[in-house]
Structure formats: C-alpha cells, structure tokens
Chain A
C-alpha cells in the first residue's frame, strides 16, 4: 500500500499546478476563458485519456487522476467544453467509428466546436432503456427515423445528437438497437424544451418525423447499438475517485453552519447537525478511498464488475443529504428564494437540482440491482 505518486507523476502534477497558476482565467473574463480552452487543447489535456493517434493525450490513469484533482482543486474551467462529446460520444467513436467518422467528429469534439446531445430515453423507456421503440427503417442508403425521445439534455443548444433507434423487432430487445449520429437541424426534428422543478429548462422532448439519416452516419454495425452505448458509458473510469467537488461542498456546509442560527442555537453547535456533517464527511472520504481501490485494481489489469455503482449510490445520497442539510441549517431562511438567500441561492439550487445526479445517470434502484446481480451474483428480477 502506498499513496504516493511516482516522481514522474509528481513532476506532472507540478506541471499542471504551474499551468493553472499561470493561465487560470478570472471567472468573468470570456477572453481569458477562451484562451484557456485553446491552451489546454494544445497541451492535449482535453480528451487526455484518449489515444494520441486520434488527437487525445494518451494519459495514464494516474495522470488522469492528477489532472482532474488539480483542476478541480483550483476551481479551474472545465477540461474542454463539449460535455457529452467528451464523456461518451468520443469514446464510442474511438471504439466503433469508421476512419471517416473519427476524422470528422473527434477534432470538433476536442475543439468544443459545438455541443452533442444524447437521445436514449423515451417516454416509455427509461430505466428499461433497451425496450426503446423510436424506429429506424432502412430506405435505400438511409434510415428513416420516426418516434420520440425525452429528457434530452441541452437538445435545444446542440448541433448533433447520438441517437438509439430500433431497427429490428427480432431477437432479444437488446439486439434490434442501432446507434445513429444525426444533425439536429435535419428536416423532421422538432425540439420542445421541458421546464424542470427549479424553473429552468435544460432538457427537452425531441420528435422525429420521417427524418432521413444517411447510412454513413451509423455508428457501429446495425443491431450493435446497445454494445456501442454500454462500452461508451463505461469509459470514464478515472472520475471514480474524483470527490473534490463534494469535499468542497462539505467544507462550505461547515462554513454555512457557522454563520447560521436555528432554534436559538448556532447551527454548528447543534449536535444533530454536527453528526450529519461528519457522516457526510466520512462518506465522501470513503468514496475517495473506494475510488482509489478501484483504480488500483484497474492499474493491475483487473476489470470491474459494477463497483462504480457503490460510489454512484453514495453520490446520489450525498447530493440529496447535503442539499437538505444546508437548508435545515438555515432554519426558517431555508425556504427563501432570490436576493434574501445565503450565497446567492446556492443551497436552494443544490436542494432542487439533485435529480440531475440522482436520476440522470441511472437511478439508485438500478445501481442496487447492478451491485446485487453483477457483484453478489443474485438473480435478475
């Protein structure tokens, strides 16, 4: 057991720290931010885990951990701006894309030229994603797509969508699914934003009405869409130990508790509040260490069977608990909104936005199923 990084890895850390010190832009300096993104792109820190042949950084797992840790600690701008392109479209392209597709899309994803959105969920297919029914029917050199997607994040601001359609009703439900890459300005696509419970609208319904998608826009073989999706979603392993954001939230909750009074007692002296903050603290530390153990196993060449679900469950619980705790700490000020709030409504947002983390990436029940079935070997329900 050894928590130290090698001298070469520590040298890389120093390089990252020095870069941040010299280049981190002020938050309200758009020119500085643009310049930042240009420079980290040149350093190949965008797509850092991707192979160098496709324009990625070829970073080792340890380097990826270091890079993310330092960036997050410094509250630096994100590593790249094409969120879903970097998270799963790119990895899927790298594994399943044709040469032509790779050459077209990967540089644009790395440059952050535009946004991608993800068209998986449908009104009748959420957790049971493989039951999806949006149809793709082969017509000559194209697929004709008809159906509906829902909860499609940032659909209204995206130029492309990675889409799952049903191209066959034969075989198992997983077998008839195909993955298509579709321009959002195609004829026959209609986007209707959905307002969420915090009042914003960041996801949408997307309707497909006889949308023609050329065969060249298919990612992977026909009927291979499920595999393409699963392998891409499994890609980002180094984030498993990334808890800097949660650590910062816990520290901020402590500071909040020191400023607030509730039931006639300073909140940070309330034993119940103290215990809950400490419990959150211990959970975040457990996540960090669980992540380190998982990374160690990967460095030894082992594959994980669903261990990432452990931290996903912790993250989901913490996301809800920290929002609740922060509002409870504020007592009768917790329900306020707008100008009268602490820290410009930060805590109210946290208490209302948890579904993005808790529901967005597979619900807690689904994570429990994954652990029970893949790790404990219990039967499927």
Chain B
C-alpha cells in the first residue's frame, strides 16, 4: 500500500516547478493572458514544454509521447495550476486521450505524434449551451451522406479556440453518441472566441453547419460511455490544476496575513482570519486526495474511475470558489486591486466551477453511482 509519489514523480514535480518559476512567473502569465489579440499562450514556452515532454506526457512512446500515466500528468498539472500557466495543455491532452482510447491505429498514427510534439494543438467540444455535461446533453446531430457524417450544431465552453488545429466533437447519430475529429480548416466550421473572466483560460463557442467528416475521422470506439469517460478525464485534469491554484492562493494569503499588522498584531493571529485559512487547507487536502485516487483509477482502468472523478470534481467545484473569495477577502482592499495577484485565483475558480460539470452535476452522479 503506497498512496504517495515515486522518486521519478517527485523529480518531475521539481523540474516543472523550476521551469515555471523561471520561465513563467505571474508577471509573464499576465503579459500572455492580458494580450487579448494574442492566442492566449506563448508559442515559445509551448515549444519548450513540448521538448520537456509535458505536452505528450500521457501519449504512448510508440507515438512520440512520454508514455507516462495520469498520476504523472496530475503532478505536472498541479504545478501548471500553481503558476496559472496559460497554455492549451489540458485540451491537447484530452484530444489525444480521446484518439488514443477510442480511435484506431491509423488515427493514432496520423494524430498522436503531432499532438505529442506540440506541433498540433487539440481541444474537445462536448458540452452545449444550457445542457447536461454528459451524453444526454448532446444535441449536435450527425446524419449520413454516403460514407461520411454530416454534423450540424453548436458547442460552448470550448478551450483554446484561437490556437486549436483539431476539435474532438461529440455528436448524436440517432440516439447514439459519438466522437468525430474536425480540423480547424473544415468547411462549415465557425469559431467564436468569447471573452472570459479568467484571462488565463481561453474559451468560446463553435458552430458546425453541415460539416462533413470523412470515415477516417470518426472515432469508431466512441459511444455514450466514451463521452462520459472523456468528460471524467477532463474533470480530473482541471481539478488537478485547481489543487495547485488553490494552494497558491492559500500560500499567498497566509503569507500576507503573517505580515499585515492591525490592532498591533499580525492579522493571522485573529481567528477570523486564521480559521478560514485552516479550512482552505482542509478542503484542498481533501480534493487533492480525491484527485490522486481518480487519476490512479484512470491509469488502472479501475471500475471506481467514474465515481472517483465525480467526487473529486464535485468537492473541488464546491469549495475552490470559496477559497478564491476568501483569498481576496482576507487581504482587505489590496485584494481587490488589479495589480495584486489574489483575484487571479478567484477568477480561475470561476472557470473551474462549471468545467466538465459543476458540483450539483457531479454530486448527483455520486448519488446515482452510489445506488440512490
């Protein structure tokens, strides 16, 4: 029994930490993310992390990746989250994950190497406006035209639209959900980036107007369960990032509370300040444990994977927004300023909350999967 990280994983973490501290401190994060006309990430840093092997971390070695697991991936994501690192890491990995799990060998050979080396950026387009983030919420319809599928409909909350070369799109053919690969250049595809609160996460909507998908771009292994599994993988990934971001918010606030003197003593001495900080720790440690287990379940193909992912995301969606609010509030006026960093974490929490299902959605899944 060992619920801890290996030496290699600890090393991966310290390498990631060092790289991000040196190459992408929060000043840099702001520069990249506040440039509204830019792609929302630094192509130069993207190239560097691709070389470090982070982009293709979970892609099999045979296809140019590092062939590591989700537990390793969580390590990198925690650190990326701690730095609020703006890059299409999660969407690219999810696109690759979908192709690897539900695609055939030809599709692996076509797509995985370029996703692994960072030369192609992928993203997933699953959820639709106001709909359930599960197979039942898919309204985008596919019809058949000869060998091809023809897709029409709209997707929201799609990450990194400006950067993405490849979209993994969830559709419904009759009653059967499926996944198709749609390239950026596809005819009938309209991309609309939308401004968001969290500038480090670029989102937007895409519309498909009779987009033709050739048979080689349909993931034959995909069905409703596959869509759920992909959403679960997304939930685990964004929650892993949330661990790092929440820990950074706690560290920033705790350190400020130790230094800030009011009524002749550090405000950290007042329990009204100290106890919310302790509660942040309790919640972060707890969704951290849940994420680690969920990642392990994905690696092992364990039957607990869906409920483990749902518990982790539910817990994080439930508590991270409050951590963000407390991080700002416990600072007093300075926390409300653009210049001070506290709000960056509050805003990340607003993005994390609904991403791949909010707390209500996932608690309901926990209830159902638990026999209620």
Contacts and interface: CB of A to CB of B under 8 A. Distances in A.
Interface of A: 1-5, 9, 62, 65, 254, 257-258, 268, 271, 274-275, 277-279, 281-283, 285-287, 289-290, 292-293, 295-297, 299-300, 307, 310, 313-314, 365, 367-369, 371-372, 375-381
B353 interface: no
Contacts of A380: 269
Contacts of A5: 1
**What are the 7 A-B residue pairs with the smallest beta carbon separation, nearest first?**
A289-B289, A286-B286, A278-B363, A278-B366, A371-B278, A292-B3, A368-B278
The interface centre, meaning the residue of B3, B271, B274, B314 with most chain A CB atoms within 10 A of its CB, is: B3
Contacts of A381: 269-271, 274
Nearest to A317: B282
B372 A378 contact: no
Nearest to A379: B269
Contacts of A378: 254, 257-258, 268-269, 274, 277
A241 B314 CA distance: 21
A278 B152 CA distance: 36
Given A5-B1, A286-B311, A379-B266, 16 more contacts: A1-B3, A1-B5, A3-B1, A65-B1, A257-B372, A277-B367, A277-B372, A279-B314, A279-B363, A286-B286, A290-B289, A296-B4, A378-B258, A378-B274, A381-B271, A381-B274
Contact of A285 (B257, B285, B311): B311
Contacts of B4: 1, 293, 296-297, 300
B290 A368 contact: no
B274 A293 contact: no
B285 A282 contact: no
Interface in B130-184: none
A26 B268 CA distance: 54
Nearest to A286: B286
B367 A275 contact: yes
Contact of B372 (A65, A254, A285, A286): A254
Interface of B: 1-6, 71, 250, 254, 257-258, 265-266, 268-271, 274-275, 277-279, 281-282, 285-287, 289-290, 292-293, 296, 308, 311, 314-315, 318, 360, 363-364, 366-367, 370-372
The listed residue with most B CB atoms (<10 A of its CB), out of A3, A287, A314, A365, is: A3
A292 to B, nearest CB: 4
A372 B254 CA distance: 9
Contacts of B257: 378
B311 to A, nearest CB: 4
B363 to A, nearest CB: 4
Nearest to B251: A376
A295 B3 contact: yes
Contacts of B279: 368
Given A289-B3, A376-B254, A378-B254, A278 B367 contact: yes
A4 B300 CA distance: 12
A271 B364 contact: yes
Given A254-B372, A371-B281, A376-B254, A275 B364 contact: yes
A282 B314 CA distance: 8
A254 B370 contact: yes
B274 A369 contact: yes
28 contacts: A1-B2, A1-B3, A1-B4, A2-B2, A62-B1, A65-B1, A258-B372, A271-B364, A274-B367, A277-B370, A277-B372, A281-B370, A285-B290, A286-B286, A286-B315, A289-B293, A293-B292, A295-B3, A297-B4, A299-B1, A314-B282, A368-B278, A369-B271, A371-B278, A371-B281, A372-B268, A372-B275, A375-B281
